Copies of this chain bind each other. A is one copy, B any other.
Amino acid sequence: MPNNQFKRGELYSVINGMASTAVARRLQKNFRQSGLEITIEQWSVLYHLWKEDCLSQQELCNRTFRDKPSITRLIDNLEKQKLVKRTASKTDRRINLVCLTDAAKEMQQVTIDIANQTMNEALVGVIKEDIETVKKVFQQVFDNLI
């Protein structure tokens, strides 16, 4: 078998993130077509703030799986777009609490609808059981590497 060293090859698509990239691109496209001027990365930050507002930047790092500089700059851009506001914590002066503006709160429902619709497009022909398996495997991979 001449290509023995590539026997795992199909799995490198996981490394390249081809499936998640495809989903992300489609979501970005769907946002754009609805006239929403946010990136998927910004959206993923807003997503966690909609679940729980006024998180510290560190907490956003943990929840979005990004490092601190990435969050610093995402928050910079979100602040420029008036979607969030940094507020100094009263109990710990090192901490910035990142809070949603009214404009961001208004975006919640429509963007989540678009995200759900995008996931539906992505998952056509995929049975629920297999989705559960993917979630399980992802969690295991995540736990193995973190």
Contact = CB atoms under 8 A, between A and B. Distances in A.
Work out how many copies of this chain go into the complex: 2
* A: interface residue count bin: 35 or more
Contacts of A126: 137, 140-141
Contacts of A44: 12, 15-16
A11 B144 contact: no
A40 interface: yes
B24 A20 contact: no
Consensus secondary structure, chain A interface: helix
Given A22-B146, A51-B6, A13 B121 contact: no
Contacts of A145: 22-23, 25-26, 121-122
A124 to B, nearest CB: 5
A1 interface: no
A-B interface, 7 closest residue pairs, ranked by CB to CB distance from nearest: A17-B20, A19-B138, A22-B145, A133-B133, A17-B17, A122-B141, A19-B141
